[in-house]
Structure 1
Amino acid sequence: MYGAYSAVRDGSEEWQGAAGVADIDTGRPTTPQMEHRIGSVTKTFTATAVLQEVGKGHIDLDAPVGHYLPDLVTGERGRAITVRMLLNHTSGIGDYGRAIFATADSIEGNRFHEFAPEELARLGAAAPPLGRPGEAHHYSNTNYILAGLLLRKVTGQPPETYITEHVIRKAGLRHTYFPRSPYLAGPHAKMYEAAYGGFTPPRDFSVYNMSWGGTAGALVSTMPDLNRFHRALLSGKLLAPAELRQMKTTVPVPGTHARYGLGLLQTTSACGEFWGHDGLVLGAMTWSLSSPDGRRQLSLGFNLARYQKLDANNQPIPNGIDAAMEAHLAQAICGTKASTGRNTERSLARPRPQPQPQPHNWPISPRTTDVY
C-alpha cells in the first residue's frame, strides 16, 4: 500500500494517523487530514438532501419517479419505480458505467471529459435492467444521478449547491466539497490505480473530471470531516427523527450480511451495529463507519486501488494489505487490540463486506479489459 490516512473517534477522544507516501516519485509523506475522493460515500450526502425535502413535504418517498422526471424515467417503469427505490437501489435501473467506460482506453480518454447528468441518466435507463422495480437491491450509480436531478427539479438549484448549503455546511464540514475542475483544491495524495495489474506501474488518477460520478460519487472530503458528518447525521442534526428512521429502513445486500437503507449501509461487527458507506473511484478507496449513536467512528482512505492479484476466476486474491486493513478496522471499531489475535478480526470481517467493495461498486471490473 502506498499511503493511508485515518481518523477514529470514541466519544470525546479522537485519534488521527497516516502512513506511507502521497507521491511515490518524491516520497512526500501522507498526513491525516489530506483531501481524498470519497466516491460512493457521496450517496449518503445526496440521500440526506433528498430526505430533507421529504421532511418539508416537497418529495414523497413512495411517489413514482416518473411524476418528477417524466422525460428521464418513462412509461411503465416511470410509474413503477419510486423515489425510495432509487435511494435503496431496488429500482432495477442499469448502470451507465459500461457505456462511458466501454474500453480500457476510455478510462484515460474521459480524464477531462464533462458528462451532463441527463446524459448519464439516459445511458443508465437504456442499459439492461438489473431487476424488476422493488424486487431486490441492485447497486447502480444511475439511481443517485437521478436523485440529484430530482433535487434540482424540486428545489430549482443545482444539486451540488443544495447539498453544500443544507448538508455539508449544516454539518459544520470545512474540507468537503464538489470539485469544480479535475483538480483537487487542497493538500492531497496522488491516487494510483493498479487495475489488478492492468496498469503496470499503477497510474496516477488524482487529476480527473468527476462529472461521471456527480451526485453518485464526486465528493472530496477528509477523514475527520467524514466522522463529523456521520456524527451529525446519526445524532439528528441533519434530519428529523421520521426521516432518519426512513433512512435506516434497510433491504438485504445480496451476497453479504450487510443491509442497505436510503444511502446508508448497515453492517454488524463483533461489537455491534455500524452505519456508513464505502467508496471507490480510480486510485482512491474509502471506508466510513459509525456506531448508531455516533459515539464510535472510523474513516479510512488510501491511495492505491485494485492492488490485488486475480485468481483463475478473475476474483481478487486477499493479501497482506487486506489483513492489515482488517486489523485496523477491528481495532478502530471495536477497540480490539491487535495482539488479541485473529478471532476478533474474523468476526468483524464475516458479517460485513470485505474492505474491498463488492464488484457492483467498481468502475473497473475484475477483468481489467472491462470497464463499468
Structure 2
Amino acid sequence: MRNPLNPAQLNAALENVHRAGMPGLFAEVRDGEQIWRGAAGVADVSTGRPVTADMRHRVGSVTKTFTAAAVLQQAERGELGLDAPIGRFLPRLVPGARGDAITVRMLINHTSGLAEYLPHAYPSLKAFPVLADTGPQSLDDHRLTRFHSTELIEMGVTAPAVGTPGGTPGVYSNTNYLLLGELLGKVTGTTAERCITRNVIERAGLQDTEFPTGPYVDGPHSQLYEAWFGMIDPPRDYSVFDMSWVGPSASLISTVADINSFYGMLLAGEIVNPSSLAHMRRTVPVISQEGRTIDYGLGLHPMESPGQGVFWGHGGTVWGGGTLSMTRADGKRQMTVAVNLQRWNRLDSSGVPQPHPIDEALAALHHVAMYG
C-alpha cells in the first residue's frame, strides 16, 4: 500500500523531536518523484541561527557504505577477492595466522574478530560501549590530534580479539574499515579517500559530499553538540574536530539530499553491479556499538516492518552529530535525517542509558517518514 508524503505530518514530527530536546535537525524524505525537505530548531544555541535542510553535516558511519562500495568495485575489476585473506595484501598490519584467516569480506561485515581501537585512542572512553566507567576528557584532548590510520589499526589488532575470524555474531569495529581503507590504497596506488571520491562520490554525481582535509566543515553547517550521557552539561560544540580518528570509516561530510541520492543509486545497481549488490545484502548477526544484535551485510544493514517491506541503509554518529539513512528495497521511499546532538541519554547507576523523550520522538519521525 502506497502512502504518499504528508508534509504537514512530517513537519510536525520534525518539530516534536526539537521540542523533546534536540537543538536542531533536518531531513529529506522521497517517495518516487515527490521530495520533502524540512528543518526544525537551531544550528547554534548561542545565536539562535536556524538549521536548514540543505546544510552540510558529518555523517559518521554512513561513510562505511561508500567504503564498502569502493572495495566491491575493486573486486569487480579483479583487483581483489572478497574471500581473499587480508594478510595477502597487508601482511605487516595483520601478520601471521590472523592475516591468513581474516578475509576482505570479514572486514566489511565485521566478523573479523578484530577489536575496536577507539577506547585505546581515547583513553577516557576506555569503558565504551560499556558505560559504567567512562568520561569525555579525551574528546577535548584529541580535538586537533592528527592520527595515522596505521597506528589506530595497530591498537585494534594488538588488543584482545573479540571473536574468531568468520565467527558470528560479529562485533562492529572501526578497525575493520580502517584496514579496508589501507587495502584500497594498496590495490589502487592512491589514498582510500581519493579512490572513494573518484569511483563512488563523483560516479554518483554528488556535489556536496567530500572527505575533510582539516578539522573544519566547509560550507553552511550546524554546530555539533555532544552531551556524553549528561556528563557534558550543557552540551559542548565539537563541530571543529580532526576526523583522522576515523578516516574512511566515518569521516565523510555530506547533505541529506546527497545521501538519499547515493543510496537510491546504489540500490538501483548504479554504483556496484547486481552481483556485488547481492553480496552487500547478504547479512550476518553483528553486535552493534550500542550492544544490540543487528543484521549486517557488506556496509549495509536492513530494517524491516511488517507489510512495508525492507529498508536498507546505515546510521552514523560523530562527536555531536548523528545521521540515519534508510531506503526501501524497491528504491521508491527514502529517508535521511541529521541531528546536531549526540548521547543525550543519561546513565543510571550501573551505566545503562536511560530513555529520553528524544528517542520516542525520533522513532515517530522515522515511522512517519518511511511508512506514512
Contact 1:94 1:125 in 2 (8 A): yes
Which residue does 1:188 correspond to in 2?
221
CA contact (8 A) 2:84 2:103 kept: yes
Matches of 1:212 and 1:99 in 2, distance apart? 11
Q: Does 1:179 align with 2:192?
A: no
Given that 2:309 and 2:329 are in contact with CA atoms closer than 8 Å, whether structure 1 keeps it comes out as no
| CA–CA separation in structure 2 for the residues paired with 1:257 and 1:9 | 29
SS of the residue corresponding to residue 301 of structure 1 reads: strand
Note the C-alpha offset of 1:256.
4.8
Quote how far apart the aligned CAs of 1:200 are: 1.2
The aligned runs of 1:239-318 (5 Å cut-off) are: 239-254=272-287, 256=292, 258-270=294-306, 271-318=308-355
Query: Which of 125, 131, 137 is the aligned partner of 2:157?
Result: 125
Match of 2:76 in 1: 55
| SS of equivalent to 1:150 | helix
The 2-side partners of 1:331 and 1:132 are apart by 40
Deviations 1:27-57 (A, max 9, x none): 0000001111111110000000000000001
For residues 1-372 of structure 1, the aligned pairs below 5 Å read 1-103=22-124, 104-136=136-168, 137-254=170-287, 256=292, 258-270=294-306, 271-335=308-372
Amino acid at match of 1:281: V
| Residues 111 and 286, structure 2, Cα contact 8 Å, conserved in 1 | no
Which secondary structure state, in structure 1, belongs to the residue aligned with residue 88 of structure 2?
helix
CA distance in 2, matches of 1:295, 1:73: 41
Q: Deviations over 1:289-318 (max 9, x none)?
A: 001121110000100111122223322222
Please give the secondary structure, in 1, of the residue aligned with 2:123. coil
How far apart in 1 are the matches of 2:246 and 2:137? 18
Give 1:253 deviation, angstroms: 2.9
1:321 Cα shift?
1.1
- Please state whether the residue corresponding to 2:156 is helix, strand or coil: helix
How many pairs does the alignment contain? 335
Amino acid at match of 2:221: H
Q: Is the Cα–Cα contact under 8 Å of residues 257 and 267 in structure 1 kept in the other structure?
A: no
Query: 1:212, CA displacement in angstroms?
Result: 0.4
CA–CA distance in structure 1, aligned partners of residues 292 and 250 of structure 2: 22
Contact 2:282/2:298 (<8 A) preserved:
yes
> More displaced, 289-298 or 104-113?
104-113
Segments of 5+ residues of structure 1 without an aligned counterpart are: 336-372
Distance, in Å, in 2 between the alignment partners of 1:164 and 1:28 is 31
Q: TM-score, normalised by structure 1?
A: 0.88
**1:150 to partner: Cα distance:** 0.2
Deviation string for 1:318-361 (max 9, x for gaps)?
Answer: 222111111110011111xxxxxxxxxxxxxxxxxxxxxxxxxx
Measure, in 2, the Cα distance between the counterparts of 1:164 and 1:294: 23
Which is worse superposed, 192-201 or 83-92?
192-201
Q: Which runs of 4+ in 1 moved over 6 A?
A: none
Q: Secondary structure at the match of 2:326?
A: strand
Letter in 1 for 2:357: G
CA distance, structure 2, for counterparts of residue 269 and residue 37 of structure 1: 28
Per the TM alignment, residue 252 of structure 1 is displaced from its structure 2 partner at its CA by 1.6
Partner SS state of residue 32, structure 1: coil
SS in structure 2 of the partner of residue 288 of structure 1:
strand
Q: Distance in 1 between matches of 2:113 and 2:187?
A: 23
The AA in structure 2 aligned to 1:121 is I
After superposition, the Cα gap between the structure-2 partners of 1:213 and 1:28, relative to the gap in structure 1 and judged at 3 Å, is same
AA aligned opposite 2:156: G
TM-score, length-normalised on structure 2?
0.88
- 1:123, CA displacement in angstroms? 1.1
Q: Is the 8 A contact 1:176 1:220 kept in 2?
A: yes
Over the aligned positions, Cα root-mean-square deviation in angstroms equals 1.1
Spell out, residue by residue over 1:53-100, the C-alpha distance to the aligned partner (whole angstroms, 9 max, x if none). 000010100010000100000111000000000000000001110111
Q: Aligned partners of 2:352 and 2:336: how far apart in 1?
A: 26
